[in-house]
Structure 1
């Protein structure tokens, strides 16, 4: 009888131990699952960060190209402005020369017309 009680008690202890072990395993599975989710999120964040860095590098490159084109356009505009100013100065000089010539010749023409 005592033997039966001992076997029954041992069986109950085994069942309790199995239940505690099962709860422990379940707890570890939950921890591993949570850790796996966290690692997955971190990997996704790293992937998104790499994409962001690629996009940022592309945008920086495009911005540099735009800045270079603006610089080239400004230099071209400066050259054209200088050429225009030079042409205006040349035309003003020619106009002044023509005006002086006309002022010199006009009295002579009038004099000849009056004769």
Structure 2
């Protein structure tokens, strides 16, 4: 799944004329592999703790930009849809509005 996410992100970038190396996804994966096993991303910690996260600003942005560029993002669509109920609940508890949805 992680490789699919990284490949989609690179494809979206290329679809928007961002110059990336042909192995950008592999390079990103190698960089992630250098992190300690117990390390977590801030979005992962926020979601695990029931806090509002950057789901829309990160994954939602990939989806929106993919649509703009005509690049399918099925892995990112899946992750977004899977995490959206938790994100909505966290934002409701915090009294925060949801950001723009990818399908808007």
Report the TM-score, using the length of structure 2 for normalisation.
0.19
Higher helix fraction (1 or 2)? 1
Q: Which structure exhibits the higher relative contact order, with contacts defined as CA atoms closer than 8 Å and separated by 6 or more residues?
A: 2
